[in-house]
């Protein structure tokens, strides 16, 4: 593991509204195998104690949304966990009482417009 306390998410680009990208898209082997098969059952990735996301790209227009996997901002507004306005940083609260942690493969990003870029990291 390159960074023992932090998992960089890398560059996450929402290509079009309603076309979500998983937080784990760039996590490599730490993303687990949430989409397993019958012969290869799903395995959870590495649990994180918290996440920080930033929409700092100058080309961002409109908001980016953090949602549970399988949801979109337009189709499931009641499932939005966090709204990340352009040029802002949003920490998702965490703490030592979070027993199970946050599995990045269970969360995705959606946006108001295509091409919005988000950077961030998870904390082990």
Q: pLDDT digits over 53-110, tens only? A: 999 778 888 999 999 999 999 999 999 999 999 999 999 876 655 567 788 888 999 9
Residue 119 clears pLDDT 80, i.e. is over it: yes
Strands 107-111 and 6-8, sheet pairing: unpaired
pLDDT of residue 124: 82
Residue 93 gets which letter from DSSP? Answer: P
CATH number for 6-29+44-123: choose from 2.60.120, 1.10.1740, 1.10.3470, 2.60.40: 2.60.120
The reported pLDDT for the residue numbered 80 is 97
Element (H, E) at 109: strand 107-111
**For position 64, what pLDDT does the model report?**
96
* Choice between 118 and 102, residue whose per-residue pLDDT is larger: 118
Name the β-bridge partners of 82: 66
Which of 108, 106, 110, 105 shows the shortest CA–CA distance to 73?
110
Please report the pLDDT score of residue 97 as a whole number. Answer: 55
d(CA 13, CA 117): 4
Give the pLDDT score at 117. 94
* Higher per-residue pLDDT: 40 or 52: 52
State the residue for tokens 């082990």. 124
H/E run at residue 12: strand 12-14
Cβ(109)–Cβ(23) below 8 Å: yes
C-alpha distance across the termini of the chain, in Å = 12
* 7-42 pLDDT per residue, tens: 899 999 999 999 999 998 998 766 665 555 555 555
In whole angstroms, give the CA distance from residue 53 to residue 107.
12
pLDDT of residue 95: 60
């Amino acid at each position: 593991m390159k960074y023992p306390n932090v998992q960089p998410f890398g560059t996450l680009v929402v290509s079009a509204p309603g076309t979500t990208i998983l937080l784990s898209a760039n996590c490599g082997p730490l993303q687990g195998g949430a989409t397993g098969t019958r012969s290869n059952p799903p395995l959870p990735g590495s649990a994180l104690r918290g996440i920080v996301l930033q929409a700092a790209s100058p080309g961002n227009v409109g908001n980016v949304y953090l949602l549970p996997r399988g949801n979109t901002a337009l189709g499931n507004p009641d499932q939005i966990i966090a709204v990340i306005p352009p040029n802002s940083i949003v920490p998702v609260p965490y703490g030592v009482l979070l027993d199970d942690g946050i599995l990045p493969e269970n969360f995705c990003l959606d946006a108001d417009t295509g091409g919005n870029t988000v950077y961030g990291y998870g904390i082990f």
